[in-house]
C-alpha cells in the first residue's frame, strides 16, 4: 500500500546501523524502502525555512536606522526588506509584515523584487494563508535563476504550499529543485521525499511529466519511479535498479539505493506470514477491572473502524481481566479465530510471547525482543518511536548539542536514553540531561541547567554570557501542565531563541489556546488524530465525541489496530493510519511515524 496523505509521510532512515534501514532489500519496492527521512515534509536546518538566513546579519533596529538615514529610494526600500527578513528570523511576523509594506516596490531591482516576494510568501505561510503564499511566489517568473539561498527559500515555501494544497505534481517538482539547492548534508531528505512523492503518482501522470520535460535529472527521477512500479509486479528490483544506475550514473537518487544495497544488516524478519486469513478476528482486551478504561477505549476505536470499513470479517471480543492469557488465547482459537489482536497489558503480552502463538497475533504493547517470533507482531503507541523522530528532526534542522529535560521515573529516563542514542548515532551530543519530580523546583532546575544569570540582577557580570552557549536545542519530555511551567522559565532564563522539541504527551488533543500560549514555538511529534483535518481522520472521529483527553489516543490506537488486522498482508509495505504511518521493523514490532506540529498562538498546528 503506497501512502501519500497531505501531511502524513512515513520514514525509513537509511543508515547501516539503523534498525529501520534493515528491511530486506528484495522484499520492498523502492518508494517504500526510501521513504522520507524525517516525517512530514522536507526538513532543513534553518530555524525559519523560507528565509535566506545569511542575508540578514544585523538587527532589525540597525536596518531601520539605516533606512531612516538614507535619502536613496532604492537603498531605503531594501533596508526595509532586510529589516523584514531579520524580523522573520527573530519570529516577529507582524513586525516583518509592517516593514515589508514600507519597501517601495517601484524602486527595487528585479532581484530585490524576488526577495520581497519570497519574504511576503513566508509571512503568508506564518499566517496560515496558503493561497497568498502561492500568489506571492507566482510573482517570480524564473525561480530556476534565483541565487542559491533565495532558490532554497523559494522551493521550501513552494513545496510546503503545494503539498498543503494537494497539488502533488507541483509538490514533486518542487522537491526535485529543492534537493538541487540544499547543502549536501540536508539534500538526502528532499531526495527521499521526491522518490516517495513520485511513487504516489499514477503511471499516466508520470508519463505526462516525462513527455513535458527535457531535463535529464527530472527524467531520471521519473524513470526510477516508473521502474519501481514495474518492479512491484516483477519482484526483480536489483537488476532493474542496476540498469537505471547505468543510464543515470550521476543522478542524485543514486545515493539513496546505494546506501541500502550496501547495508550489512538486512534480514528476512521484516515480512508477514503470507496470505493471513483475517476472516475471524479475536480481540483480547481487559473490559473489566483496573485496566478496563484503556481496554474499552481501544475496543471502541477498533469497532468504530470495523463499522466504518465493512469487510465481511467477524470480530469476537474476549475479556482478559483476571484470566490466564494463554487460556483466553486458546479459547479464541478453539472458537475459530484465524487472527488475534491483543492482549493489551505489557505483562500479558510478555506471557503470551513466552507461551508462543499459532496464528498471526498482533499484540497491543511492546516488549523487549532480540529475535522475531513466528506469527507474533507488536503494536504500541511507543514514546520511544517519537523520541527517535525528535532526535532525527532536531539534527536535520541543524542541532548538534542538546539539553534534555524529562521526568526522573523509568518511563521518562527510557525516553531520554532513546533520544540520546539516536542523536548520537546521527552525530549529535546530549550535553546535559536534567530530571524532575513533582516536588522539584522547576525554576532552580532550569536556571542551573542553563547556567543562567538572574535577569536584571545588580551583581551580574556584564562580561559573561547570560546563559551557557554550548547547547543549540532542547528536548523536553513533559505533560501539558509541566510544559506550561517549564517553557516560560526557558524563555525567562535566556533560552527563548533555542528550538524546543517534544513528543505527543505534551498535547492531549484538547484545544486550549489561552492555556497553551506558554507553549508557543514548541515543535512536537504527535498523532495525526490530534492535529490533522484529513478525511480519514475526520471519518475516524465521527463517533468519538464523548472521549476524554485520557482515552482519545487509545481510541485512535484501536482504530488503527483494526485496519492493520484486515490489511495484515500489507504491513511490510506500510499502512497509513490515524496514529501515524505504520510499518514493520525487522523484529516484527510496528514502527509508527508521527506527524509534526507546533504551538502557534496557543494552538497546535501541523507543520
List, for residues 314-325, the tens digit of each pLDDT value: 999 999 999 999
Q: Are 15 and 37 in contact (CB under 8 A)?
A: no
Whether 384-526 and 280-381+535-593 are alike in CATH topology: the answer is yes
pLDDT score recorded for residue 146: 87
pLDDT score recorded for residue 255: 66
pLDDT score recorded for residue 567: 87
pLDDT score recorded for residue 275: 65
Domain coordinates in residue numbering, the chain = 19-45+183-261, 53-169, 280-381+535-593, 384-526
pLDDT(18) > 50: no
pLDDT(47) > 50: no
CATH of 384-526, one of 3.40.50.300, 3.30.720.110, 3.40.50.2300, 2.60.40.1930: 3.40.50.2300
Angle value at C-alpha 367, between 363 and 369, nearest 5 degrees? 105
Cα dihedral 60/62/64/66 (nearest 10): -150
When pLDDT is cut at 50, 70 and 90, the band that residue 247 belongs to is: confident
pLDDT score recorded for residue 16: 29
pLDDT score recorded for residue 27: 37
When pLDDT is cut at 50, 70 and 90, the band that residue 230 belongs to is: low
When pLDDT is cut at 50, 70 and 90, the band that residue 53 belongs to is: low
Mean pLDDT over 379-386 rounds to 94
For residue 127, report the phi and psi dihedrals to the nearest 5 degrees: -85, -5
Listed range (187-201, 287-301, 314-328, 494-508) with the worst mean pLDDT = 187-201
DSSP calls for 427-457: T-EEEEEEEE-TT--HHHHHHHHHTPPPTT-
pLDDT(388) > 70: yes
Grid coordinates standing for 438?
Answer: 513533582
pLDDT score recorded for residue 37: 31
| Beta strand 473-476 pairing with 500-502 | parallel
Percent of the chain with pLDDT over 70: 83
Grid coordinates standing for 243?
Answer: 540498469
CATH of 53-169, one of 1.25.40.10, 2.40.128.20, 3.10.20.90, 1.10.10.10: 1.25.40.10
Mean pLDDT over 150-156 rounds to 90
The chain-wide mean pLDDT, for the chain, equals: 83
Distance CA 360, CA 339 (A): 5
Q: Are 445 and 419 in contact (CB under 8 A)?
A: no
Q: Are 321 and 289 in contact (CB under 8 A)?
A: yes
When pLDDT is cut at 50, 70 and 90, the band that residue 573 belongs to is: low
The answer to whether the pTM exceeds 0.75 is no
Name the CATH superfamily housing domain 280-381+535-593: Response regulator (3.40.50.2300)
| Beta strand 581-584 pairing with 603-606 | unpaired
Distance CA 73, CA 77 (A): 6
pLDDT(188) > 90: no
Distance CA 429, CA 473 (A): 10
Output the CA–CA distances (angstroms, integers) from residue 4 to 44, 223, 248, 534, 583, in the order listed: 21, 19, 26, 12, 14
Helix (H, G, I), strand (E, B) or coil at 563: helix
Q: Using alpha carbons, select from 202, 125, 117, 193 the residue that is nearest to residue 151.
A: 117
Q: For residue 297, give every residue at least 6 positions away whose Cβ sits within 8 Å of its Cβ, in sequence order, or none.
A: 547, 551, 552, 554, 555, 558
pLDDT score recorded for residue 249: 80
Amino acid at each position: 500500500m503506497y501512502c501519500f496523505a497531505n501531511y502524513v509521510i512515513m520514514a525509513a532512515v537509511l543508515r547501516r546501523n539503523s534498525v529501520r534501514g534493515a528491511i530486506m532489500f528484495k522484499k520492498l519496492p523502492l518508494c517504500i524502502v526510501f521513504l522520507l527521512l524525517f516525517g512530514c515534509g522536507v526538513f532543513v536546518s534553518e530555524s525559519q525555512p523560507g528565509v535566506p538566513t545569511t542575508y540578514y546579519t544585523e538587527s532589525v533596529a540597525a536596518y531601520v536606522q539605516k533606512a531612516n538615514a538614507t535619502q536613496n529610494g532604492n537603498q531605503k526600500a531594501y533596508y526595509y526588506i532586510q529589516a523584514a527578513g531579520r524580523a522573520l528570523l527573530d519570529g516577529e511576523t507582524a513586525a516583518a509584515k509592517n516593514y515589508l509594506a514600507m519597501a517601495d516596490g517601484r524602486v527595487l531591482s528585479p532581484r530585490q523584487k524576488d526577495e520581497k516576494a519570497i519574504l511576503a510568501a513566508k509571512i503568508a505561510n506564518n499566517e496560515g494563508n496558503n493561497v497568498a503564499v502561492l500568489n506571492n511566489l507566482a510573482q517570480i517568473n524564473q525561480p530556476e535563476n534565483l541565487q542559491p539561498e533565495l532558490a532554497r527559500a523559494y522551493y521550501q515555501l513552494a513545496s510546503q504550499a503545494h503539498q498543503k494544497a494537494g497539488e502533488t505534481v507541483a509538490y514533486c517538482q518542487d522537491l526535485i529543485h529543492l534537493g538541487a539547492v540544499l547543502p549536501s548534508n540536508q539534500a538526502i531528505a528532499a531526495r527521499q521525499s521526491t522518490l516517495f512523492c513520485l511513487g504516489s503518482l499514477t503511471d499516466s501522470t508520470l508519463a505526462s511529466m516525462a513527455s513535458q520535460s527535457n531535463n535529464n535529472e527530472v527524467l531520471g527521477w521519473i524513470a526510477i519511479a516508473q521502474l519501481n512500479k514495474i518492479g512491484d509486479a516483477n519482484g526483480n528490483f536489483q537488476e532493474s535498479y542496476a540498469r537505471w544506475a547505468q543510464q543515470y550514473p550521476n543522478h542524485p537518487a543514486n545515493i539513496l539505493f546505494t546506501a541500502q544495497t550496501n547495508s550489512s544488516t538486512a534480514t528476512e524478519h521484516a515480512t508477514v506470514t503470507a496470505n493471513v486469513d483475517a476472516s475471524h478476528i479475536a480481540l483480547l482486551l481487559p473490559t473489566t477491572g483496573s485496566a478496563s478504561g484503556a481496554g474499552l477505549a481501544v475496543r471502541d476505536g477498533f469497532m468504530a473502524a470495523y463499522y466504518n470499513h465493512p469487510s465481511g470479517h467477524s470480530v469476537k471480543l474476549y475479556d482478559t481481566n483476571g484470566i490466564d492469557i494463554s487460556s483466553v488465547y486458546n479459547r479464541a482459537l478453539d472458537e475459530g479465530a484465524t487472527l488475534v489482536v491483543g492482549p493489551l497489558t505489557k505483562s500479558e503480552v510478555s506471557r503470551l510471547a513466552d507461551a508462543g502463538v499459532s496464528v498471526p497475533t498482533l499484540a497491543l504493547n511492546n516488549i523487549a525482543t532480540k529475535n522475531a517470533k513466528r506469527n507474533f507482531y507488536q503494536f504500541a503507541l511507543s514514546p520511544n518511536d517519537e523520541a527517535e523522530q525528535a532526535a532525527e528532526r532536531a539534527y536535520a534542522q541543524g542541532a548538534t548539542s542538546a539539553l534534555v529535560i524529562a521526568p526522573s521515573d523509568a518511563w521518562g529516563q527510557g525516553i531520554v536514553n532513546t533520544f540520546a542514542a539516536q542523536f548520537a548515532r546521527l552525530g549529535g551530543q546530549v550535553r546535559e540531561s536534567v530530571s524532575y519530580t513533582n516536588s522539584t523546583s522547576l525554576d532552580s532546575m532550569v536556571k542551573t541547567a542553563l547556567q543562567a544569570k538572574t535577569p536584571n540582577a545588580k551583581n551580574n557580570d556584564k562580561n559573561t554570557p547570560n546563559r551557557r552557549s554550548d547547547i543549540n536545542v532542547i528536548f523536553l519530555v513533559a505533560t501539558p501542565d509541566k510544559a506550561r511551567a517549564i517553557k516560560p522559565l526557558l524563555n525567562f532564563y535566556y533560552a527563548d531563541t533555542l528550538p524546543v522539541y517534544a513528543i505527543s504527551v505534551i498535547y492531549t488533543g484538547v484545544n486550549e489556546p489561552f492555556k497553551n500560549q506558554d507553549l508557543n514555538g514548541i515543535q512536537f511529534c504527535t498523532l495525526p488524530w490530534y492535529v490533522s483535518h484529513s478525511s480519514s481522520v475526520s471519518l475516524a472521529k465521527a463517533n468519538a465525541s464523548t472521549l476524554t483527553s485520557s482515552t482519545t489516543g487509545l481510541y485512535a490506537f484501536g482504530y488503527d489496530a483494526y485496519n492493520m488486522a484486515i490489511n495484515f498482508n500489507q504491513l511490510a509495505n506500510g499502512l497509513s493510519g490515524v496514529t501515524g504511518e505504520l510499518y514493520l521493523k525487522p523484529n516484527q514490532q510496528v514502527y509508527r511515524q508521527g506527524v509534526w506540529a507546533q504551538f502557534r498562538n496557543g494552538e497546535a498546528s501541523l507543520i
